[in-house]
Structures are given as C-alpha cells and as structure tokens.
Structure 1
Amino acid sequence: MAETRRPRRRRPRAGEQRGAARPASPAPDPDGPVVELEVERVAHGGVFVAHHEGRVVFVSDAIPGERVSARITDRRHDRFWRAETLGVLRASPDRQDHVWAEASVERAPGNRAGGAEFGHIRMDRQRALKAEVLRDALSRMGGVETDVEVRPVDPELAPGVAPDGTGWRTRVRLQVAADGAVGPYAARSHTVVPVASVPLAVPGLAALAPLDGRFPGARAVDLVAPSVGEPAIVVVDAERMPRGPRPTIEERVGDRVFRLDRDGFWQVHRGAAATLSRAVQDLVDGDLFDPAAANLDLYGGVGLLAAAVGDRFGRAVRITTVESDAGATEHAGANLADWVGARAVTARVDRFLDDAVQGSTAAERPRWHDATVVLDPPRSGAGRQVVDRLAELRPRQLVYVACDPVALARDVGLLRERGYRLADLAAFDLFPNTHHVEAVARLTAIV
C-alpha cells in the first residue's frame, strides 16, 4: 500500500534561495518552421549545436554528424534558436534504439518522456560526449586545458545495473496530472506523459511503479529503494510541512551504514555513494593531509564524504561537516560517531566560512592553512562568495565534487585567480542515458 506524506521544507543550501520556483521552460511552438540541420557538436545541457542561416540552433535528440529534420520551437533570442528533432535523415553509427521507448524520436516531441535525453546514443559515445562537455567548460571558463575520461561505475559497486545504463535509479519521482494520472514530465516541459515503463529505475522500483494508478489531488508519487530494507511508494499530497518525526531509511556503503530521512538527499545511482567515497579517498593527497588541522566537509549532508576521509586517515582525524539542513546534520552526527575528532554543524556554508574568516586569529591561521577541504555543493556550484572565503582561509588542498561541469569550471577559474591550481580530475558516469556527469577535482594552493 502506498504511504501518503506531505513534502518537507528544507533549509536551502548555499547558492539556493528560499521559496525560489523552478524556472519554467517556455512552451514549445508547435507551429514553428521545420528545417534540416547538420548536427555539429554537443553542448552543455543535453542538446546539440547546429546552424541555420547563420544562426546557432540548439537541437535535442540528435548526435554530432547526423542530419536531422527538426522543428524550431523557440525563436525568442537573436543569437540562437531551439529545436526538436522530428526525424533522422542521416543517422550516426552511434545511434541505437532508445533504451526508453517512451522517450524515442519515434514519438511526437510533446509526448517524449524526459529524463533520458542520451538514451538514443551508444554508451561509449555518451561518455565521450560528456567528457567533451567537461573539457570544453574547463577550457572556456576555468582557463585549464586538460584531458579527462568519463569512467563507468565499477559493476561491483552497483549490482543489478545493466551494461546499457538501465536499472540504476534508486529514487524516481512520478508527476501527477490534473486527472490523477502519473508519469514523468515530457522533455523540457511540465506536461505529464503516460508511460508503460521506467527502465532507468532499479528493478525493485520498476516493478513497483504504479504507472496505471490514479492519484487525484496528489502532487507527485515518489519511489524510493534504499540499499537496506524494502522499496516504498510515497504519495506527496500537500504543500505543508508534516509534524513529528520523519521516516528514516538506511543506506549501506561498503561496511558502513548511514541513516538519513527518507526524503533527504542521497546519491541516486545505486553505486554512486561508494564511487564518490572511493574517489575522494583516492584524490586527497596524503602528503598534504594533516589529521590535526581544521579539515572540513562542506555541504556535507549526512556525513558520507567526511566518513570517507575518516576511513582513510583514522579515528583521530579532525573534521567538521557543515550542512544547512538540520535533519541531515543530526544524522551526520550519529553517522560520524566512530571518529573522536568529527563534529557536525548546522549552518549555511557561506555563513560558516564568514564566521571562520572573521573569528580566526593569527595563531589559529595555521590550522586552516594545513587543512583539507572537501566540498560537494548543489548543482549551482560553490560560487564566488564561498570561493573568496576559502581563498582567505587558504587550505592546502580542496577536493571538489561537482554534478555540473559549467559550475565546476567557473569555480575552478575563480580559484585559479586566487592562487590554486587544478592538480587532479576524475569523472564518473553516475547518470547513464542522461547528459549529466559527476566530476571530482583536487586543487592545491600554489606556494
């Protein structure tokens, strides 16, 4: 039986605004002109670059090297237009049958399910395109020329995930239409489309998804499959915050179990938490790490990456995890109880760093200069204010976990201007069949 809940309201992370609405995409123009386009290269955001009569056109559902028939859906901008592929006139050898039939180019654009915008591309080419976007962003915005390979998740860390990039999502949100029907939003819109499958979901969720159900009055239906315990259907039915304790779940990473609120943040790929824990452990330079310094885990959630640092360097490691969500911080304190030097602080990251800068005496500065800082900001990145404060504290090394290549590149550029260099970079395909990519970068202070 499905459980009903009201959505929580969490304190926004740094860079987010309380009460900010999700930007609405402009309604596609169903009567826009149909043109033929030569697709040239990939762009950030899961779209591809073409030109028409000298103007840049960002077109979806294509592959570089293809010729497609496309409808121009947005002509509001002078410098570029947006388009949706209607048909493929000359296919790339990397085109495959879409892993999600309901998202295929065979469907009309307004009925294509969103959330699998690379599912028509062979897996090796998907990763090459993601690496291209990351390299290009770092070059243009970060001022860094570097090569990078987007690596698949180790199959040992993600049992059940198929080689074609299906079966990995442990959290799925189904939207609810006015008539109570459920489904994903259509690509680049807020229109709910019916589907018969959710192939990116882990098998337990795919079997549980109530795709033929009706939920009148609900806002959404959340499907959650923790690594410990049974999957659940949760009906989100109102705007008000619930009273009393929130349901919790447990997630296992290696030999450790993390407790968190069921509607709290956790990496969505079955193997993502273990992959990122291992990556952070690998990228921290042990020669630069001081276990007694004022080490930080910023935007720390329930303590996943602080625990990764503690597991590598021992129980006496001093590390403070900082998170604006009070519920997550409470769980972090319990999840990090093994480490005598660990503590969890509820605070916005920018304000915490403001206090650290203002409260540091000359005698305390060496604690910061010797520190290692791990940060895993939201999609918008850390931003100028946080980067400025970090540069003032001047930690030895930063290990930056990023889910958006453009935000990462911008912050790498800001840090370069403030005396840091990009020393190492790893990237992982934690979102197969989508355009998203996760990167972990290590930056070190230039002496």
Structure 2
Amino acid sequence: MPARKPPRRPPRPAAAIDPAVGTEVELEVTGVAHGGVTVARHEGRVVFVADAIPGERVHARVTDAKKSFWRADTLEVLEASPHRQAHVWAEASIDRDPEGRAGGAEFGHIALAHQRELKRQVATDALARFARIDAGELEVQALPGDDETNGTGWRTRVRLQVGPDGIVGPYAARSHTVIPVRSLPLATAAIAEIAPLATRFSDAASVDLIAPSNGRALTVVTTRDGSTPPLKPIVEAVGDRRFELDALGFWQVHREAARALTAAVQRAIDADAFDPRAANLDLYGGVGLLAAAVGDRFGQATRITSVESYEPATDFAARNLSDWVGARAITARVERFVRNLADDATAVERGRQRAATIVLDPPRAGAGKAVIDELVRTEPAQLVYVACDPVAFARDAALLGEAGYGIRSLEAFDLFPNTHHLELVARLTR
C-alpha cells in the first residue's frame, strides 16, 4: 500500500509591510553609525539615513521599519553640511532615485578629510562601547596618492554583476539590482580601460576585472553555473618581493594597501618581545603577505607558520615563503588549528608558544570568541591584529582584554576612500 502523502499546508501569508515604509520625513542628522549610514531621530525613534552627513537637515524616505529603528534614503538635502561635495561617482549621486544609485561609494558625497574624521569617530566609538578602550587621538591615515586624486583611482579589483538582461554594472546600494554605469571612478586606470560597461553578456553571473602590479589587466567572466575559464597565476609585487596567487584569489584591493600593511605590521611588532625561534603564527594567512612581512623584518631564520583554510592559497604561500628556513604553510581552519595548539603541545613547544608573536588578519566578522579563547590559552608574548571592521575588532579586543591583553599600539588606514571602510593594525600584550 503506497504511503500517504502528508496534507499540503496552506501557504504562509506574506509578512506584513509596516505602513511606515514609503513615508517621507524631514530629519536632523546628528551622527554617524557603523556601516556607512548616519543617525537621526523621528518622534523618538532612531533612523539610519543613507547619503547624508552629520549636521545636515534632509528630506528622506523610509525604506525599512523595524520595531526599534527605521532605515531611510535621502531624497533631498535641505541644509547641507560644509563637507558635502559633488559625488565622485555620477551614478551614485543624490540626484538619482535611491533605487538607481550605484553602490560601493557610499561616502563619495563627503569631502575626503571629513570621511576620515567620520571613520575615526566610528572606530573610537566602537572601541569605547564594546571594549571600554579610549583610542585617544587616533588618526585615519591616507595612503600615497589618494589626496591628489580625491580618493579615486585606487581599486585594482572590481567585480561587476550581470543582470537578467545581460547588462553589466554594480549592484545598487543595499540591493541586488544591477545598475548600468558609464564609469568606475574608484578603479585604477588599467581597470577602467578594460571595463566592458557597454557590453551585454549572456549566461554570465559576474565579471571580474583584475589589475595586478606585475602584468596586464585581465577580465574574468563567471557563468551562471559558477564556472570560469582556465586562469594562470598572477604576480603581485611589494617592494622587491613577489607574491604568486590565483587570479581570483584574495589580495588587498587598494594599489598601495599591501605595502602599507606590510610596513604597519613590521612597526607594530615589539622587537624586544620577538623571538625568531618561537612558535610564531600568521593566522588567516592567505598567500603569505604578512608572514613575509615578519620574515623580512627579523631575518631568514625566522620561524613562522601561516595558517589558511583555502588550500590553493596555502600552496601559493608555501612557495612565497620559501626564502625562510623556518617558514611553513598549513591548510586548516583557524579555529581548529588553535584549539589543538595547547592540547597537543609538549613542554618545549609550550615555551615556544608563550614566546610567540601571532599575527592575525581575520575576515570582516573578526576572529570571534572561539578563536580568541584558544589563542589566549597559549599565552603568546604579543598579538598583532589586522582588522577590516572596527566593531568586530572592538568585540575581539574586549575578549582579549578580559584575558589580560591590552592594546599597546594602534594605527588606522584609509584603505577604501569614498567608502565607509577602514583598516586597523593593533599590537596587544599582557
């Protein structure tokens, strides 16, 4: 007898849309929030406002209404900040309907120096709020050449999306709508030259544009089934050192970022606390950029292990770190790797762990409690944390603080001009 099919459930009703969505309101913008938006209040409710600047009065439309806050898009600036400028990307300008504004340059309407001030405020507020740390007079440092170009011409990698009609372009802010554009002002000249902005693609999901520091720029089309053509490795240069990697592998996007972070990590390490024979680590190591920074500062005998979960990157790291006798690259999930460190260590290895310098450059979500808890069990001499998200870093800094590790040095870098992102490099010791 065939099994009876379970009765069909009635379709679930669509979630009710808050009647506030679509409402147009006048707002006094009072501050900046993490994520590239500003803060206002309407009848006591917090409103996160896109495309505004603290100090402005704007006319905005509510796009999302939660119980505790709203989100809104600026439609018109009624009283402009002295820091407002014509948007560096015409296709992202406030002159356009919000749904038709290109995403990826959410601070492009703000003068560059004031962008950095707002980023400083976000970073210092996050550290104060989540870690109870006073960051003092933190400065968000510009990278070479950015002031001269008003923060344009720095992206060496750009991913364009392909819409159902074959049109190529960036997504609109906070959506998956593809916006056709005529320019890519944040991209380097090499990227802009090959950008297929007027081309229609069939069976394509995305188009990657890559301009390595060594070699010609290239275009990589990913089809809707996720396939790409066979690709040769590319080579990136940092000073006199060369790094080989997959064409679509991770590398710092700003043309000067790899050089800036190499120097920042080298500065951050306390030489008096560094032991080249210790169990030094480079976690989330990629193709070995920061492990090489350590090796270049402290010599060919430096012992350092680079840990990365993506096996092709680990293979490249092994080659890129071959100059150092004590360097090795391991494919492993960082959480699992650090969990085994203390459990499996001999007495001699425990001593090497306590003398270690650990460099970690986690993804945007941060290292997290599981990794931090295991790291502090090894009692390293110093941690050098490279962070691309100030809130995630502040949460991790709070966990480290509970274990007795405080911030001894902190630098901030504007690696992503005309966006809300910044990079932090910190040294933490007991």
TM range (shorter): over 0.9
1:234-287 C-alpha deviation (Å, 9 max, x unpaired): 1111435669x7421000000001000001000000000000000000010001
CA spacing shift, 1:395–1:343, aligned 2, 3 Å: same
- The structure, 1 or 2, with the larger RCO (C-alpha pairs under 8 Å, 6+ apart) is 1
Partner SS state of residue 353, structure 2: helix
Give the conservation status (yes or no) of the 8 Å contact 1:153–1:428.
yes
Give the conservation status (yes or no) of the 8 Å contact 1:28–1:73.
no
Distance in 1 (alpha carbons) for counterparts of 2:234 and 2:148: 25
Output the amino acid matched with 1:370: A
Task: Output the TM-score relative to the length of structure 2.
Answer: 0.94
Output the amino acid matched with 2:22: G
2:285 corresponds to which of 300, 303, 306:
300
Counterpart for residue 89 of structure 2:
100
Unaligned runs of 5+ in 2: 1-15
1:196-239 C-alpha deviation (Å, 9 max, x unpaired): 10000001111211111000110011100000000011111143
Partner SS state of residue 273, structure 2: coil
Q: Which moved more, 1:139-148 or 1:313-322?
A: 139-148
Is 1:47 the equivalent of 2:37? yes
Is 1:168 the equivalent of 2:163? no
Give the conservation status (yes or no) of the 8 Å contact 1:399–1:441.
yes
Distance in 2 (alpha carbons) for counterparts of 1:347 and 1:186: 36
Distance in 1 (alpha carbons) for counterparts of 2:328 and 2:106: 40
After TM superposition, list the pairs within 5 Å mapping 1:62-141 onto structure 2.
62-75=52-65, 77-141=66-130
Give the conservation status (yes or no) of the 8 Å contact 1:29–1:74.
no
Partner SS state of residue 321, structure 1: strand
CA spacing shift, 1:394–1:325, aligned 2, 3 Å: same
Counterpart for residue 228 of structure 1:
214
Counterpart for residue 363 of structure 2:
378
2:178 corresponds to which of 185, 192, 205:
192
1:359 corresponds to which of 305, 330, 344:
344
After TM superposition, list the pairs within 5 Å mapping 1:5-24 onto structure 2.
none
Partner SS state of residue 364, structure 1: helix
Partner SS state of residue 182, structure 2: coil
CA spacing shift, 1:162–1:230, aligned 2, 3 Å: farther
Aligned residues between the structures: 414
Q: Which moved more, 1:202-211 or 1:42-51?
A: 202-211
Output the amino acid matched with 2:320: N
Give the conservation status (yes or no) of the 8 Å contact 2:281–2:359.
yes
Output the amino acid matched with 1:230: R
Output the amino acid matched with 2:73: E
Is 1:413 the equivalent of 2:398? yes
Cα deviation for residue 358 of structure 1 reads: 1.1
Give the conservation status (yes or no) of the 8 Å contact 2:222–2:228.
no
Unaligned runs of 5+ in 1: 1-25
Output the amino acid matched with 1:193: I
Distance in 2 (alpha carbons) for counterparts of 1:307 and 1:246: 25
Is 1:334 the equivalent of 2:319? yes
Distance in 2 (alpha carbons) for counterparts of 1:361 and 1:223: 48
CA spacing shift, 1:230–1:359, aligned 2, 3 Å: same
CA spacing shift, 1:79–1:189, aligned 2, 3 Å: same
1:363-413 C-alpha deviation (Å, 9 max, x unpaired): 321100000000000001000010001110010100000000000000000
2:26 corresponds to which of 36, 58, 62:
36
Give the conservation status (yes or no) of the 8 Å contact 1:29–1:73.
no
Distance in 2 (alpha carbons) for counterparts of 1:107 and 1:115: 15
Q: Which moved more, 1:361-370 or 1:228-237?
A: 361-370
Partner SS state of residue 419, structure 2: coil
Partner SS state of residue 374, structure 2: helix
Distance in 1 (alpha carbons) for counterparts of 2:242 and 2:108: 33
Partner SS state of residue 287, structure 2: coil
Counterpart for residue 417 of structure 2:
432
Q: Which moved more, 1:80-89 or 1:346-355?
A: 346-355
Counterpart for residue 3 of structure 2:
none
Cα deviation for residue 106 of structure 1 reads: 0.6
Instruction: State the Cα RMSD in Å.
Output: 1.7
Output the amino acid matched with 2:378: L
Distance in 2 (alpha carbons) for counterparts of 1:242 and 1:72: 40
Give the conservation status (yes or no) of the 8 Å contact 2:279–2:349.
no
